[in-house]
Structure 1
Amino acid sequence: MSVPLYQVPEQQPSVWQPTSVEEAMHLKHKWGDKAVLISGGTWLRTRWENGVSPLPQHLISLARIQALSGLAMDAGGQIHIGPSLRLADLMDSELMQMKCALLVKACAEIAAPSVRNLASIGGNVVTRTGDLIAALLVMDAQVVCSDGTAEYTLPLAKWLDAPTQPTSEVMTGIKVPNTDIEDAESTFEFYLKVGRREAFTPSVVTVAGRLGLAPDQTILSIALAAGGGSAVPARFADLEAAAIGRPLSKDLLQLLHTGVSEGFQAVPDDYAGVAYRKQTAANLIVSECYKVWRKGGGANAPKS
């Protein structure tokens, strides 16, 4: 989509290419609201073209800061993801395919290949409504942020709880802990996105889940999250706590459906209302949990 001529500013923004986080934040502090930190720019571009946000006077590119594009696993099995890592590169990584398959699956649901070649994982998270966030939440991801002088690490769920994110800092890392569930006989993961058409579509609802089950189908661990549209994705902490230690059963599935439907903080728009989004999120999550139940012999399911 091109910008109509009458919307093109007389002076195009200056583009700066710092090579360190410290330099990038120095520039950001210098110009404040007149400058924007940018990585892939796919989300920001749509906001500028649609008139949602004004084109800033300065663009501070993070592309040359190599530390923000790294990908590694430490000795404890924790994955360290640079926020500037492109979605296409993340999907192609053997490490991510092996250790973070759920996140790879979520990336495949984002836009088209041409967009994934530009879009970054950090940019998707910084929007606070990105389709990757539900998957990262159930993986207990953490974010690392810096103001240019000091870094801090915060659980993604807690970072999202803030009403707005500070404009005087930049995300410098995403950490995904070792997701192996001790003592679990079986581990199941799912990620689903519902849009207004089959492909290359904004989400109406996104859900993700991760269950660790004992041999008797008792739930040892459970993580459920939902988002979509303008909603800030979130976990269902109280519902998860109520499910721990209980066998996966019809009664529990009913409890999960009610809990998700009531607890999902959906946001309406011109395409879908709150009731539809709540019902869809609950149906998707319980449908996946039902499949797990059936695999374990629930309702006398035949063994395959």
Structure 2
Amino acid sequence: MKPAPFAWHAPEDLAAALALKAQHGGEAQFLAGGQSLVPAMNFRVAQPAVLVDLNRVAALDSLAFDAEGTLRVGAMCRYRRIERDAEVARRLPLLVEALAEVAHPQIRNRGTLAGNLCHADPASEMPAVMLALEARFRLCRHDGERVLPARDFFLGPLATALAEEEMLAEIQIPALPPGTGTGFLEVARRRGDYAMMGVAAVLRRGPEGRCVAARLALCSAGPTPMLAERAAASLVGTRLTAEDFAAAAALAVAEIDPMGSVQASPAYQRHLAGVLVPRALALAAERAA
């Protein structure tokens, strides 16, 4: 298959890219790594009249911690750069651990985190990880910008809160407080396939060893990445025992809404969640200690 005809623009700064999007509106698409958009164009599922290629916008290829410890990831930062960064691995191990499960090295060499999040596939690992890490997204347009929490960004399968003229220019991931442990686990048919179920867990222990905060997010668990809020809340104040994890898993299974796939029925996905949630929580609790 070949894509439908389109015009191609390669601006060299963010302002020019946003101006092109404002000019062409819904007929234009931003091109970053192209790992989702280009196949969709080849199959003519997506038929943008204009491509705004961001690969020459050097300012968007950024990866750095600010003075407050927040990781700021630009729209053109490749997966592989994040995955190989030693400081990211030290400060945000959940991000690097989950990135290793995303597709294959060839895809991660080219693909971008921002592009993945804008594609908003509920089976993808990164949207769930962003929920677990309480990430924020800086959305820019030609006449201004806004910052949106990750939990408000994903609206449905392949649907986000991005307005027609907006670009996801930067992902902001806040620092993890002391005493925090994280864990990511998934089950896929083959390495690199979309997960049949994936779980991202974040736990923080207080001085006495009890849980003082918890976040639990799942992929392939509903029409969007799913936050298991009741399950996470049930852990606060506990000693984080196996029994606590089992009780949280039961709540999580009741909270999710898996849609099923050719590889796994909704019932099997719920079963997987019941197995993976306590394991991911145990891993996070061990690391928090």
Does the pair score TM above 0.5?
yes
How many residues align? The count is 284
Q: Give TM-score scaled by structure 2 length.
A: 0.89
Q: SS of the residue aligned with 2:225? A: strand
TM-superposed deviation, 1:224: 0.6
Q: Write the distance in 2 (CA, Å) between the matches of 1:111 and 1:249.
A: 33
1:31 is aligned, of 21, 24, 33, to: 24
Whether the aligned pair in 1 keeps the contact of 2:200 and 2:280 (CA below 8 Å) is: no
Counterparts of 1:1-304 in structure 2, within 5 Å, are: 3=1, 9=4, 12-51=5-44, 53-129=45-121, 130-161=124-155, 164-165=160-161, 166-181=163-178, 184=179, 187-197=180-190, 199-214=191-206, 216-228=208-220, 231-290=223-282
Q: Write the distance in 1 (CA, Å) between the matches of 2:54 and 2:213.
A: 37
Q: Write the distance in 2 (CA, Å) between the matches of 1:135 and 1:283.
A: 19
Distance 1:294 1:227, change over 3 A: closer
Whether the aligned pair in 2 keeps the contact of 1:256 and 1:282 (CA below 8 Å) is: no
Q: Write the distance in 1 (CA, Å) between the matches of 2:167 and 2:202.
A: 29
Q: Give TM-score scaled by structure 1 length.
A: 0.85
- What do you get for the CA RMSD once the two structures are aligned? 2.4
Distance 1:76 1:274, change over 3 A: same
Q: Which runs of 5+ in 1 are unaligned?
A: 298-304
Q: Write the distance in 1 (CA, Å) between the matches of 2:285 and 2:230.
A: 21
Q: Write the distance in 2 (CA, Å) between the matches of 1:66 and 1:232.
A: 31
Whether the aligned pair in 2 keeps the contact of 1:72 and 1:81 (CA below 8 Å) is: yes
Runs (4+) off by over 6 Å? 292-297
CA deviation digits over 1:201-240, x for unaligned, max 9?
Answer: 1222221001112365411111110012874112222332
Identify the structure with bigger relative contact order (alpha carbons < 8 Å, sequence gap 6+): 2
CA deviation digits over 1:121-168, x for unaligned, max 9?
Answer: 101111222321222221111111012221111211122258643232
Structure showing greater radius of gyration is 1
Q: Write the distance in 2 (CA, Å) between the matches of 1:247 and 1:262.
A: 23
Q: Which runs of 5+ in 2 are unaligned?
A: none
TM-superposed deviation, 1:19: 2.1
